[in-house]
Amino acid sequence: MEKHTGLVGGNCMRIVVLDGFTLNPGDLQWDPLYELGECTIHDRTSPELVVARSAEAGIILTNKVVLTRDHILQLPTLKYIGVLATGYNVVDIGGARERGIVVTNVPSYGTDSVAQLVFAHILNLTHAVETYSLNVRGGRWSASPDFSYQECSLQELAGLTMGIVGLGTIGRAVARIAEAFGMCVIATGGTPSNVGNVMMVPIDEVFRESDIVSLHCPLTEQTRNLVNRQRIGLMKPSALLINTARGQLVDEQALADALNGGMIGGAGVDVLSTEPPLASNPLLSAKHCCLTPHIGWATLSARRRLLAIAIANIRAFLAGSPDNVVS
């Protein structure tokens, strides 16, 4: 825990960061935040400590620590909640509205980083980067009679069809990169503004026609388990599924069964339904499934932008003109 005292224009509102470690594991500077008031930064906060740690806070910053209606009603000095992310489902917006508390988020800070991870997964799967690296280290190239040791079929992206579910800011960035690789892009959800020759089609056609399907839609009750057995059954046997959006968009057991049964070619997954994952999560042992630990947002550049915008949001609130308000 870090604690600092600061003042801006006479303001002495107490700031509490509930889970600062994922945003800043030590490679960023909190100094601009210290200037805004008395500041206490916790690396992590368990649910039972939320109220005690926030008891005198006027401002709370949270990334993944949930602020329930009950929490909010027990914090009489609370005026502002800043979510250190784009998604704000960790805050009970109704409870905040009831108390007149301003809630803000940080939109679009990680667009390029997430799009980059999408293609890290795609290139790994289509060029078997992880597989070949492990095999070379295991001695298979050294034991090969040929200068080019080859074990599995590789794919070229040019000419393949990329299907995007959710053509928002990140979806459009992915579409632009896909077109640069020479891919045909089809999409569902959103508007294809400023994105080359993207063809908008119904969602089932995205799954049926695509060689690679990448998910970029928000999690809602309508999109929960969007990728289910029926939609996976529409996909080509060679098709790849990429999920850098939300784990609950995918029926994980259905995806694991499809991968283990050879119904689709592979999956690149950065998000799971429960994080950290339970040991029983079926994707942890599924064939041809590359898993990363929710790092699409976490490049240094993206985290630096996130912190800068979060601090700017607080400054705007203290000045009486809050920005990026979601409540």
173 in the same domain as 279: yes
Q: Check residue 189 and give its pLDDT.
A: 87
pLDDT tens-digit profile of 70-127? 999 999 999 999 999 998 989 999 999 999 999 999 999 999 999 999 999 999 999 9
Per annotation, catalytic residue among 2, 130, 156, 275: 275
Q: Residues 130-142: what's their mean pLDDT?
A: 95
Active site residue 275: yes
- Give the range of the structural domain holding residue 79, as residue numbers without chain letter: 2-109+300-318
Q: Do 179 and 199 share a structural domain?
A: yes
Q: Could you say which of 53, 71, 246, 303 is catalytic?
A: 246
145 belongs to a structural domain: yes
pTM of the model: 0.91
* HEC sequence for the chain: CEEECCCECCECCCEEECCCCCCCCCCCCCHHHHCCCCEEECCCCCHHHHHHHHCCCCEEEECCCCECHHHHHCCCCCCEEEECCCCCCCECHHHHHHHCCEEECCCCCCHHHHHHHHHHHHHHHHHCHHHHHHHHHCCCCCCCCCCCCCCCCCCCCCCCEEEEEEECHHHHHHHHHHHHCCCEEEEEEECCCCCCCCEECCHHHHHHHCCEEEECCCCCCCCCCCECHHHHHHCCCCCEEEECCCHHHECHHHHHHHHHCCCCCEEEECCCCCCCCCCCCHHHHCCCEEECCCCCCCCHHHHHHHHHHHHHHHHHHHCCCCCCECC
Same domain for 279 and 198: yes
**Residue range 143-170, pLDDT digits in tens:** 999 999 998 899 999 999 999 999 999 9
Asked whether the predicted pLDDT for residue 2 surpasses 80, the reply is: no
Residue 5's pLDDT is what?
A: 57
Based on the fold, state whether residues 228 and 274 are members of the same structural domain.
Answer: yes
- Of 42, 71, 231, 294, the catalytic one is 294
Confidence of residue 327 (pLDDT cuts 50, 70, 90): low
Statement to judge: residues 129 and 265 lie in one domain: yes
In a domain, 324, yes or no: no
Predicted confidence band of residue 138 (pLDDT cuts 50, 70, 90): very high
304 with 231, same domain: the answer is no
**Predicted confidence band at 193 (pLDDT cuts at 50, 70, 90)?**
low
Q: Are residues 168 and 225 in the same domain?
A: yes
224-266 tens-digit pLDDT? 999 999 999 999 999 999 999 999 999 999 999 999 999 999 9
Whether 246 is catalytic is yes
Q: Known catalytic residue: 294?
A: yes
Residue 21 has pLDDT above 70, yes or no: yes
Over residues 30-36, the mean pLDDT reads 95
Average per-residue pLDDT in the chain?
94
What's the domain count of the chain?
Answer: 2
Q: How confident is the model at residue 8 (pLDDT cuts 50, 70, 90)?
A: very low
Residue 93 domain flag: yes
- Are 85 and 119 contained in the same domain? no
For residue 265, the model assigns a pLDDT of: 97
Q: Domain with 263 in it: what CATH number?
A: 3.40.50.720
**pLDDT of 6 over the 60 cut:** no
Are 117 and 129 in the same domain?
yes
Q: What is the pLDDT of residue 13?
A: 87
